[in-house]
Amino acid sequence: MDARRTIEQKRDGHRLSPDAWEAFVRAYAAGDITDYQMSAFLMACFLRGLDREETAALTNAMLHSGGRLDLSHLARPRIDKHSTGGVGDKTSLILAPLISALGVAVPMMSGRGLGHTGGTLDKLEAIPGFRTRLTLAEAAAQIEAIGCALLGQTEEIAPADRKMYALRDATATVESIPLISASIMSKKLAEGLTGLVLDVKRGSGAFLTDLDAELELARTMVSLGADHGCPVVALLTAMDRPLGRACGNALETEEAILALRGEGPEDLMEVTFALGAEMLLLAGVAREPGDARRMMDHAIASGRAAAQFQRIIEAQGGNPAVVDDPALLPQAAVRDVHAAPRAGVIAGVEPRAIGYGITALGGGRTKVSDVVDPTVGFVITARPGARVERGDPLATIFARDAAGIAAGRACLAQAITIADRAEAPLPLVSHRVSGAGVTPYSAA
Ligand code: URA
């Protein structure tokens, strides 16, 4: 095929037919279209947009670019959760073991860091030996045996998303409702799910920072799920500050382990339990949110959730001892405390600046070939609205060397603002979007 004709059509704002989407994506996955042609095409899509039918056609084309997990013989419900991307967002690492410990199969295909946001695969690979490149057969066998597999896109499953995701990260073409929707839903639909829960981030640190656009993104993905008979529930959750305290791959993995042991920070647990309850309700394992919450509390308090994480780590070649001793995770060479430069109230902790700060320390990518350093990042104890005195600790910087500490300090000075008063942060969970429409969120 002549890729230039299709790029030209999108560049000039024309609609593409389902056949054109299918042919273009298939040719790219097969290596017949180059990365530079796909990059130009993605920018045309970003600038010109896609209508609802084109978004569905792109999703289908990406889904058809690879194989699917066939788990239909399992008696258990198959439920996954995916986030549109945030900073400090380690809920997937907690929910996969927690929900699979409660009898639900969780086939979880995740991504790497994208833009300023972190990626579940990068966090998992902080665990020594952990292998995220599973074949379809390995993933299916592991889910059958222990109820969960945590995997990345490969040549075999969601290959188009694997390549397009990496290009979008490097070409500033992430923040697009159709491109995000097709990326997420193509890989989730390849998992053979009976239900999906989405965490759609809102606020200044989300890819889409306007509430109408965030709701539109949620509605689009819910309806793409319905096209394929997969019930989808989306919760809108706050990303106007990082979630939890740890930001950076190994640091977040450690915080997720602490959460599985019952020692997670309150905001992280509130969002995790809200998403987990939706997973258990969709699975039919819990009848109402209160039951779901009790089940999750018990799985954590009894040690079942942490033991399930050990089982998953062991099955994927990692060192399960990190769950008992998180100090076995890779550690930064140097660390230093960042203190408040003045007295006042914490007016903001800007996730975007924190995310780019992690990249500056070596913990994220600016080009496809970059290798991430799992050890670097921040543990931020400053919470919006809290009163601080001059010299109070706000965060700890984890870096490779003194230059990294200086870069981390510069990032935090910009990201954490102290003022005389602060506006109220966004509610942690604000809206619920399902096939029945949009409602204000209530945990009860
Ligand atoms: N997560 C994904 O998997 N894809 C996107 O485009 C954004 C977030």
Least confident of 116-120, 153-157, 175-179, 227-231: 153-157
The residue among 297, 88, 375 whose CA lies nearest residue 203 is: 88
| Tokens linked to 160 | 């188009």
Active-site residue identified among 10, 78, 82, 352: 82
The residues, any chain, with a CB within 8 Å of residue 131's CB and separated by 6 or more, are 316, 317, 318
| Tokens linked to 116 | 């300023």
Residue 345: which pLDDT band, with cuts at 50, 70 and 90? Answer: very high
Residue 325: which pLDDT band, with cuts at 50, 70 and 90? Answer: very high
> With contact defined as beta carbons under 8 Å apart, do 22 and 56 qualify?
no
Mean per-residue pLDDT for 408-435? Answer: 97
> With contact defined as beta carbons under 8 Å apart, do 179 and 186 qualify?
no
Four-residue CA torsion sign, 142, 144, 148, 149: positive
Q: What pLDDT is recorded for position 20?
A: 97
**Distance linking the first and last C-alpha atoms of the chain:** 54
Mean per-residue pLDDT for 318-344? Answer: 98
Mean per-residue pLDDT for 7-33? Answer: 97
Report the separation in Å between the CA atom of 183 and the middle of ligand 1, taken as the mean of its atom positions: 6
Q: What pLDDT is recorded for position 351?
A: 98
Sheet with strand 387-388: strands edge to edge: 387-388, 344-349, 416-419
* Residue 444 pLDDT exceeds 80: no
Active site residue 168: yes
Q: What pLDDT is recorded for position 7?
A: 98
- What is the model's pTM? 0.97
Report the separation in Å between the CA atom of 306 and the middle of ligand 1, taken as the mean of its atom positions: 27
Active site residue 302: no
Four-residue CA torsion sign, 59, 63, 69, 73: positive
* Residue 372 pLDDT exceeds 90: yes
Q: What pLDDT is recorded for position 316?
A: 98
Give strand ranges (E) for 69-175: 79-83, 106-110, 148-152
The residues, any chain, with a CB within 8 Å of residue 323's CB and separated by 6 or more, are 257, 260, 261, 306, 309, 310, 313
Separation CA 109–CA 143 (nearest Å): 12
Q: Whose CA is nearest to atom 8 of ligand 1?
A: 84
Four-residue CA torsion sign, 131, 132, 135, 141: positive
The residues, any chain, with a CB within 8 Å of residue 256's CB and separated by 6 or more, are 90, 93, 94, 123, 264
Which atom of ligand 1 is found nearest the CA of 183? Answer: 4
* Residue 443 pLDDT exceeds 90: no
Q: Mapping DSSP to helix (H, G, I), strand (E, B) and coil, where does residue 329 land?
A: coil
pLDDT in tens, 194-237: 999 999 999 999 999 999 999 999 999 999 999 999 999 999 99
Q: For residue 290, what are the CA distances in angstroms to 56, 100, 298, 327, 350? A: 36, 19, 12, 35, 33
Q: What pLDDT is recorded for position 370?
A: 86
What proportions of the chain, in percent to the nearest 5, are helix, strand and coil? 45, 15, 35
Q: Whose CA is nearest to atom 2 of ligand 1?
A: 184
Mean per-residue pLDDT for 50-75? Answer: 96
Separation CA 439–CA 402 (nearest Å): 49
The residue among 122, 80, 100, 87 whose CA lies nearest residue 253 is: 122
The DSSP annotation for 382-434 comes to --TT-EE-TT-EEEEEEESSHHHHHHHHHHHHHHEEEES--PPPPPSEEEEEE
Q: What pLDDT is recorded for position 132?
A: 97
Mean per-residue pLDDT for 23-45? Answer: 97
Please give the share of the chain, as a percent, with pLDDT higher than 90.
Answer: 95
Active site residue 183: yes
Mean per-residue pLDDT for 104-132? Answer: 95
> With contact defined as beta carbons under 8 Å apart, do 206 and 85 qualify?
yes
Report the separation in Å between the CA atom of 324 and the middle of ligand 1, taken as the mean of its atom positions: 31
* Residue 368 pLDDT exceeds 90: no
Mean per-residue pLDDT for 358-364? Answer: 96
The residues, any chain, with a CB within 8 Å of residue 158's CB and separated by 6 or more, are 62, 63, 65, 66, 109, 186, 187, 190
Please give the share of the chain, as a percent, with pLDDT higher than 70.
Answer: 100
* Residue 12 pLDDT exceeds 80: yes
Mean per-residue pLDDT for 317-333? Answer: 98
Of the residues 59, 83, 84, which should be mutated to test ligand 1's pocket, given the most ligand atoms within 8 Å of the CB?
Answer: 84
Separation CA 318–CA 330 (nearest Å): 13
Active site residue 82: yes
Which domains occur in the chain, in start order? 3-49 (1.20.970.10), 79-325+427-440 (3.40.1030.10), 330-419 (3.90.1170.30)
| Tokens linked to 31 | 């290596």
Active-site residue identified among 161, 199, 240, 267: 161
Mean per-residue pLDDT for 70-83? Answer: 95
Q: What pLDDT is recorded for position 369?
A: 84
Amino acid at 395: A
For 353, counting Cβ atoms within 10 Å of its Cβ (0-12 exposed, 13-18 middle, 19+ buried), the class is buried
Separation CA 244–CA 252 (nearest Å): 9
- Give the residues surrounding ligand 1 with Cβ less than 6 Å away: 84-85, 111, 114, 165, 174, 179-180, 183-184
327 compared with 444, residue with greater pLDDT: 327
Q: What pLDDT is recorded for position 367?
A: 80
